[in-house]
Amino acid sequence: MYAATRTVKAATLLKGAVAVLVLLALAVVIIGPVMAGGLMGGESEYSDGGGGEEEPPEEPGEYGDGVPPGPWGGHSNGFIPESLLWAIPWAPHHHLRSDAVLALIELNKEFKAEFGVDLGITDAYRDYAEQVRAKEIYGDGAATPGQSNHGWALAVDFGTGIATFDTPQYNWMKAHAPAYGWIHPDWAEPDGRLPEPWHWDFWGWNGGGGSGGDDPKDYARSKMNEFGVFIDLGEAEFACLETLWEHESNWNPLAKNPSSGAYGIPQALPGDKMASAGADWETNAETQIDWGISYIKERYGTPCEAWAFWQNQSPAHWY
Residues 197 and 283 in one domain: no
Residues 220 and 195 in one domain: no
**pLDDT tens per residue, range 169-184:** 999 999 999 999 999 9
Number of alpha carbons in the 13 Å side-chain half-sphere of residue 281: 21
Residues 196 and 226 in one domain: no
**pLDDT tens per residue, range 194-237:** 999 999 999 988 764 333 345 788 888 888 776 555 555 567 88
How confident is the model at residue 40, as a pLDDT? 27
Residues 97 and 141 in one domain: yes
Residues 91 and 159 in one domain: yes
Q: For the chain, how many structural domains are there in total?
A: 3
Residues 90 and 195 in one domain: yes
The DSSP bridge pattern shows strands 121-123 and 155-158 to be antiparallel
- The beta strand positions in 30-175, using DSSP E, are 86-88, 91-96, 121-123, 155-158
Residues 269 and 179 in one domain: no
Q: Does the residue 69 lie in any domain?
A: no
DSSP 58: P
Residues 120 and 146 in one domain: yes
- Distance, CA of 286 to CA of 210 (rounded, Å): 7
Average pLDDT, the chain: 79
Q: Hey, how many other C-beta atoms are within 10 angstroms of the C-beta on 148?
A: 22
Domain limits at 116?
Answer: 82-202
pLDDT band per the 50, 70, 90 thresholds, residue 50: very low
Reference 92, options 111, 110, 79, 105; nearest CA is 105
Q: Does the residue 287 lie in any domain?
A: yes
**pLDDT tens per residue, range 85-96:** 989 989 999 999
**pLDDT tens per residue, range 248-276:** 988 888 888 888 889 999 999 999 999 99
By the 8 A CB rule, do 310 and 317 touch? yes
Higher pLDDT, 285 or 155: 155
Residues 166 and 275 in one domain: no
Residues 151 and 234 in one domain: no
Please compute the mean of the pLDDT values over residues 236-244 and round it to a whole number. Answer: 88
Q: Does the residue 49 lie in any domain?
A: no
Q: Does the residue 67 lie in any domain?
A: no
